[in-house]
Chains A and B, each alone.
Chain A
Amino acid sequence: MAPRPASETSKYARDVGKFPKKVSKAKNKRLQQGLKKVDQEYQEFVKSAEATDVLLQEEAGFLEADGPMERTMKFRQDDIVEAVDVGTANKKLDLQLTELGPYTLDFNRNGRKLLIGGKKGHVASMDWRLGKLGCELFLNETVNAVKYLHNDNFFAVAQKKYTFIYDGSGTELHRLKKHVELTLLDFLPYHFLLVSAGYSGMLRYHDVSTGALVSEIRTKLGPTQAMKQNPWNAVMHLGHGNGTVTMWTPSQKDPVVKIQSNRGPIRDLAVDREGKYMVVSGSDKRVKIWDLRKLQELDTYVIPTPARSVDISDRGLISVGWGPHVSVWKDAFKTHQDEPYMTHLLPSSKIEKIKYVPFEDVLGIGHMKGVGSMIVPGAGEANFDAMEINPYESAKQRQEQEVRTLLNKLSPDTIALDPNFIGMVDKKARNVRLNQTQIQDLEDEEKKEKERSSMNSGPSYKPEQTKLKKYLQKNNANIMDARRMRIERNLKLEEERKEKLKAKELEGEGEPDELLPALGRFA
């Protein structure tokens, strides 16, 4: 079923490097023909997909310096606003909200709407380009995180205790009782899962289309410091206080991957849209770039103060918010960069959250004194796919899209590190690894085992704990007194004795007496 790549350079090629280039001759003629046909169809698809490149209407932005004396990082936003066209210049945003900050922010999936959340209870949803306010809420309660759901008609706000869902006009729709004391929210749009983490170290997946709590996982790593989704495979990346980054799927109780990334708590992390790279910032003032395919560290950048927020744009620009500064790095996944691509300073403020606007060359900045934006040429994807996400959709189209995405809602089980595992042969499965007779043998053995266990099945008792052990457990303080020392010694002796007994037993089992018991005593 799975096709093989035509040319490995094409961006339309699928499953690159997974299949041998030449198909070995299948025994079955019909199967051989079928494989050939699938191959041909695939080649044709790649070719015709490449041919659609000429139809793309827009071009990506760029920023270049004139001559060796100019450096792009020295360009100030004011100069850039003067140089660009009016349409882009209008996208420069600066909201002075000094009262209720610092502000976190979120854009909806097509980048038209902006949701801001002030720590002291100010939440507002707006069309940021037209400057039209959708709703504004003063909650008189701490706001930790805000997140748009599948479109701008719903958003979730993590407040002091509970998490609430509001609609576009600011009406409270739900109070999520299960989601308490959260600091981080994320939404998986294809699975309709609201993901939350916070002080308690619990990771919760909540299906917002049915209202069911899908999964509740204890991370066992203390309060979660940072959380972002991998947009390519919907695996959640969590950063923890001990500098580890863990990756989670709703179906597994343990992390699928655990990385020791930084020395010291993780501040923030970000994953690029194809799930290839991850950027992690830690309190050790280091920003690390990881290759998620090999799970290898690619690069480290040192910055003067710990980065509060990082984000990766659609075209692979890394932006890092530290103190009052924003630095943007270009091509950092390819080679180490000596200096940033762009920088920006917000005097006497502190960055809280930065986030790229989808399909735009704009970076949204939430900081201590309000919300602003920064023009970053070359950041956004120029050509959107209207069948997927359409920034220019009408109300009717939005409604239809909502229905369509709900119909095609993915099950939480489809989340895995490799999103293309569906329809593939599981090479570890028993019926793939073994042949028929081996499977039969195994099954027989299992059957026997089951019978055996059912024969001597009784209530299972916990092995009795010795009094010595109990004492030690109870008084586990690090105080060494005479009694404790004596007990420990006795315990050790007892264990040794037990081990000896066991060894003796095993020996007896292992080597049958060659001379029968009658003659054994003469040996």
Chain B
Amino acid sequence: MKIKTISRSADTYVPARNTQESAMPRNLDPALHPFERAREYTKAVTATKLERMFARPFVGQLGDGHRDGVYCIAKNYKTTNQIASGSGDGIIKYWNMTSRQESLSFKAHYGMVTGLLITPRRGMLSCGDDKSIKLWSLECEDFGEEVDDLDVYRSNKSSQGLLKVFDGEHGFLGLDHHFTDDVFVTGGAAIQLWDMNRSNYVSNLSWGADNVSNVRFNKTETNILASCGSDNSIVLYDIRTNTPVQKVVTALRANDISWNPMEAFNFATGHDDHNAYLWDMRDLSKSLNIYKDHVSAVTSLDFSPTGQELVTGSYDKTIRIYRTREGHSRDIYHTKRMQRVFAVCFTTDSRYILSGSDDANVRLWRANASEKSNVKSAREQAKLNYDNKLKERYKYMPEVRRIARHRHLPIVVKKALQIKRVELESLKKREENNRRNTREGSVPRVPEKEKHIRGTAIKE
């Protein structure tokens, strides 16, 4: 008789001392792990629920904010924690996001600050309605005395920290700096190119007569810039030839432009028709993508440094985040106190979003609503990765999708969304009726991505 039975020794499995870890032998045979799919699915549902439960996108506001609406935010590309903001009463502030306190503030302009940026080398540049562009120092040795908050608002003509003033012929709208060279561009009644070392502008790039409301340099293909104007046009310029290159006119006005930092030829524009559009600068006859969901004009937008996401601020008092390849937002941020949003941007580490709104506050949000900012242990990280994989795997299941998509919306926005849906539907129905009752082919079908385009032009 040959015989053998299972004889496990408890010594191998039970720890001798209670400080020892007990052995955890694994056997991956699927027979020992029934209901694989159902268990994974249950875990995916739980993970999705937890993600929504822990979604706390709002981090806080910066300092005490401004005293008037915040209309521009500029990031410092050299750091991850410094930003500047400008408000309607002509004050500009430089913030440290780590302490969430302001480090500097200047009374920069009479009237609104319409453009603000941090130059690569020299300091902060601001422009306003008062026909001037001012360069401000960010170095502490340039400041003699401490100035408190009240002093800034008192209009004593202190010129502390002011390095240079450029005088213009008209009020400015929009300002942007070349990524490397000492050149910047301003919008307004005309689009003008300035050299930092000259006191007057170098060239006028205007094409057409209307106001230019915003200008943006391409940060990768650095000699290209784009502008949008009140004649509903988006114009591309090349500063090597000092000329505009091409133009597209859309149905409604574009308010802001953002270049994709990873795909240098793509840019997005936020329009008054509640949508944002993604364009390929090589072919402006149709847009690449449409970002829908807002219920009012998109006033500002910014690509994340990864180029994978886009944040938009809107007149409907909400912020939405889109994945670049998708047409609908993945998240919506709002608070009861946030008013019309006029400036949004990603921080340079793409983990946070800043928003400036009419209620004079600069708000800091997480780009990922449920992400914790702390350093994670390896075990925690492994669990997060596993959960993400599960969510990815089961994202099409109705329950998971429902939970993942659920958002609380302000009643105004929700109502507006419903009304908008009905309106769009009836417009569509009317068009269909029209098509049915006219000669075939007389009402051609226009693709959604071309509908908003009125015309394109290329400068000879």
A residues sitting closer than 8 Å to B (CB atoms) are 1, 11-12, 14, 49, 52, 55-66, 70, 75, 79-80, 83-85, 87-88, 190, 231-234, 273-274, 314, 359-361, 375, 377, 380-392, 394, 397, 407-411, 414, 419-423
Within 8 A of A (CB), among B1-15: 1-10, 12-14
Q: Is B42 an interface residue (CB 8 A)?
A: yes
Interface of A is mostly: loop
Residues of A within 8 A of B34 (CB): 190, 231-233, 273, 419
Known: A422-B38, A422-B41. A65 touches B397 (CB 8 A): no
**Cα of A375 to Cα of B6 in the assembled complex, Å:** 10
Q: Count of chain B residues with Cβ under 8 Å from any Cβ of A?
A: 39
Known: A60-B6, A83-B1, A408-B43. A414 touches B27 (CB 8 A): no
Mind listing 27 A-B residue pairs with CB under 8 Å?
A: A12-B28, A14-B36, A58-B6, A65-B2, A70-B1, A80-B1, A84-B5, A88-B7, A231-B34, A232-B34, A273-B31, A314-B31, A361-B5, A377-B5, A382-B6, A383-B29, A384-B27, A385-B25, A385-B26, A389-B32, A391-B13, A408-B46, A419-B35, A419-B38, A422-B41, A423-B37, A423-B396
B2 touches A274 (CB 8 A): no
**Cα of A465 to Cα of B2 in the assembled complex, Å:** 77
**Cα of A407 to Cα of B44 in the assembled complex, Å:** 12
A274 touches B25 (CB 8 A): no
User: Which of A75, A87, A391, A408 is the one whose CB lies under 8 Å from B42?
Assistant: A408
**Cα of A66 to Cα of B3 in the assembled complex, Å:** 10
B41 touches A80 (CB 8 A): no
**Cα of A193 to Cα of B126 in the assembled complex, Å:** 69
Residues of B within 8 A of A387 (CB): 24, 26
Residues of B within 8 A of A314 (CB): 31
Known: A384-B27, A410-B42, A420-B37. A63 touches B2 (CB 8 A): yes
Smallest CB separation, B36 vs chain A (Å): 7
* Complex interface bits, B31-68 against A, C-beta within 8 A gives 1, otherwise 0: 11111111101110010000000000000000000000
Q: Is B394 an interface residue (CB 8 A)?
A: yes
**Cα of A146 to Cα of B10 in the assembled complex, Å:** 29
Q: Is B22 an interface residue (CB 8 A)?
A: yes
Known: A79-B1, A422-B37. A386 touches B6 (CB 8 A): no
Known: A392-B10, A392-B14. A63 touches B29 (CB 8 A): no
Residues of A within 8 A of B397 (CB): 422-423
Smallest CB separation, B76 vs chain A (Å): 36
Residues of A within 8 A of B428 (CB): none
Residues of B within 8 A of A383 (CB): 25, 27, 29
**Cα of A359 to Cα of B165 in the assembled complex, Å:** 84
**Cα of A411 to Cα of B38 in the assembled complex, Å:** 9
Residues of A within 8 A of B23 (CB): 386
* Complex interface bits, B141-162 against A, C-beta within 8 A gives 1, otherwise 0: 0000000000000000000000
A386 touches B1 (CB 8 A): no
Residues of B within 8 A of A58 (CB): 6, 8
Smallest CB separation, A494 vs chain B (Å): 53
B394 touches A386 (CB 8 A): no
B33 touches A385 (CB 8 A): yes
Known: A52-B28, A386-B25, A397-B22. A380 touches B43 (CB 8 A): no
Residues of A within 8 A of B1 (CB): 63-66, 70, 75, 79-80, 83
Known: A274-B31, A422-B397. A83 touches B3 (CB 8 A): yes
A62 touches B28 (CB 8 A): no
Residue of B27, B29, B32, B42 ringed by the most chain A CB atoms within 10 A: B27
B32 touches A419 (CB 8 A): no
B5 touches A11 (CB 8 A): no
**Cα of A387 to Cα of B41 in the assembled complex, Å:** 18
Q: Select from chain B the residue with minimum beta-carbon distance to A74.
A: B1
Q: Is B393 an interface residue (CB 8 A)?
A: yes
**Cα of A361 to Cα of B3 in the assembled complex, Å:** 12
Q: Is B208 an interface residue (CB 8 A)?
A: no
Q: Is B30 an interface residue (CB 8 A)?
A: yes
Residue of B26, B34, B42, B46 ringed by the most chain A CB atoms within 10 A: B34
A11 touches B24 (CB 8 A): no
Smallest CB separation, A99 vs chain B (Å): 32
Residues of A within 8 A of B27 (CB): 56, 381, 383-385
Smallest CB separation, A282 vs chain B (Å): 28
A414 touches B35 (CB 8 A): yes
User: Which of B3, B6, B25 is the one whose CB lies under 8 Å from A360?
Assistant: B6
Q: What total of A-B pairs shows CB separation below 8 Å?
A: 149
Smallest CB separation, A10 vs chain B (Å): 10
Residues of A within 8 A of B32 (CB): 381, 384-385, 388-389
Smallest CB separation, A139 vs chain B (Å): 34
Residues of A within 8 A of B396 (CB): 1, 423
Within 8 A of A (CB), among B285-325: none
**Cα of A59 to Cα of B27 in the assembled complex, Å:** 12
B393 touches A1 (CB 8 A): yes
Residues of B within 8 A of A83 (CB): 1, 3
User: Which of A63, A64, A384 is the one whose CB lies under 8 Å from B25?
Assistant: A384
Further contacts, 5 of them, CB under 8 A, given A58-B6, A87-B9, A385-B26: A63-B2, A385-B33, A392-B13, A410-B35, A414-B38
Residues of B within 8 A of A394 (CB): 14, 22
**Cα of A273 to Cα of B7 in the assembled complex, Å:** 22
A57 touches B38 (CB 8 A): no
A388 touches B33 (CB 8 A): yes
Residues of A within 8 A of B33 (CB): 385, 388
Q: Select from chain A the residue with minimum beta-carbon distance to B397.
A: A423
Smallest CB separation, B32 vs chain A (Å): 5
Residues of B within 8 A of A385 (CB): 25-29, 32-33
Q: Select from chain A the residue with minimum beta-carbon distance to B39.
A: A408
B22 touches A190 (CB 8 A): no
Residues of A within 8 A of B2 (CB): 62-66
Smallest CB separation, A265 vs chain B (Å): 30
Smallest CB separation, B59 vs chain A (Å): 29
Known: A359-B6, A420-B37, A423-B394. A411 touches B42 (CB 8 A): yes
B4 touches A410 (CB 8 A): no
Q: Select from chain B the residue with minimum beta-carbon distance to A65.
A: B1
B24 touches A386 (CB 8 A): yes
Closest 3 CB pairs of A and B: A392-B13, A61-B5, A414-B38
Residue of B14, B35, B37 ringed by the most chain A CB atoms within 10 A: B35
Smallest CB separation, A338 vs chain B (Å): 20
User: Which of A66, A232, A407, A420 is the one whose CB lies under 8 Å from B46?
Assistant: A407
A419 touches B43 (CB 8 A): no
Residues of A within 8 A of B35 (CB): 190, 233-234, 410, 414, 419
A11 touches B30 (CB 8 A): yes
Within 8 A of A (CB), among B387-429: 393-394, 396-397
Residues of B within 8 A of A55 (CB): 26
Smallest CB separation, B427 vs chain A (Å): 20
Residue of B23, B33, B39 ringed by the most chain A CB atoms within 10 A: B39
Residues of A within 8 A of B393 (CB): 1, 423
Residues of B within 8 A of A79 (CB): 1
User: Which of B6, B26, B39, B394 is the one whose CB lies under 8 Å from A380?
Assistant: B6
Within 8 A of A (CB), among B154-209: none
**Cα of A381 to Cα of B27 in the assembled complex, Å:** 10
Smallest CB separation, B417 vs chain A (Å): 24
Q: Select from chain B the residue with minimum beta-carbon distance to A30.
A: B325
**Cα of A65 to Cα of B22 in the assembled complex, Å:** 38
Q: Select from chain A the residue with minimum beta-carbon distance to B10.
A: A392
Residues of A within 8 A of B41 (CB): 414, 422-423
B3 touches A420 (CB 8 A): no
**Cα of A65 to Cα of B33 in the assembled complex, Å:** 34
Q: Select from chain B the residue with minimum beta-carbon distance to A411.
A: B42
Known: A1-B393, A419-B35. A377 touches B22 (CB 8 A): no
Known: A361-B5, A408-B46. A52 touches B26 (CB 8 A): yes
B26 touches A62 (CB 8 A): no
Q: Select from chain B the residue with minimum beta-carbon distance to A62.
A: B4
Smallest CB separation, B388 vs chain A (Å): 15
Residues of A within 8 A of B3 (CB): 61-64, 80, 83-84, 377
